[in-house]
Amino acid sequence: QRQLVESGGGSVQAGGSLRLSCAISSYSFSGRCMAWFRRAPGKEREEVAHIRSDGDTYYADSVKGRFTISRDTAVNTLTLQMNGLKPDDTATYYCAAGRSDGYCDVDWRLFPYWGQGTQVSVSS
């Protein structure tokens, strides 16, 4: 059983908005760093944003001011609100959970748990 399941992807025009959700099936993730990564065709996987268990957040420069990451521990959900979408945001977006010690990093190799991904396509 997959522990992270994304939803909310789709196709929008530039300037539009989408809201991605990640359902977390395990309460053992409550103390972990949670993140959204994306991978565009022909490009490396990159971290979009992460949020620590204390609520501290990080955003990649490319999405700062447009995207907002949040987590709701009551319903075990991670969310990425994406506004002002650009064609460069087109990618498969992945939810990821970090190590049990709560360590956060932009390096995808430090995240042991992943969702299956959801596609976001932005047309100009």
Instruction: For the chain, list residues with pLDDT below 50.
Output: none
Task: State the pLDDT at residue 120.
Answer: 98
Task: State the pLDDT at residue 25.
Answer: 87
- In the structure encoding, which two tokens stand for residue 107, read together? 């390096």
Residue with tokens 């789709």: 10
Beta strands in the chain (DSSP E): 4-7, 10-13, 18-24, 34-39, 46-51, 57-59, 67-72, 77-82, 91-97, 113-114, 118-123
Q: Alpha-carbon distance 121 to 25, whole Å?
A: 27
Q: What amino acid occupies position 58?
A: Y
Task: State the pLDDT at residue 28.
Answer: 75
Task: State the pLDDT at residue 6.
Answer: 95
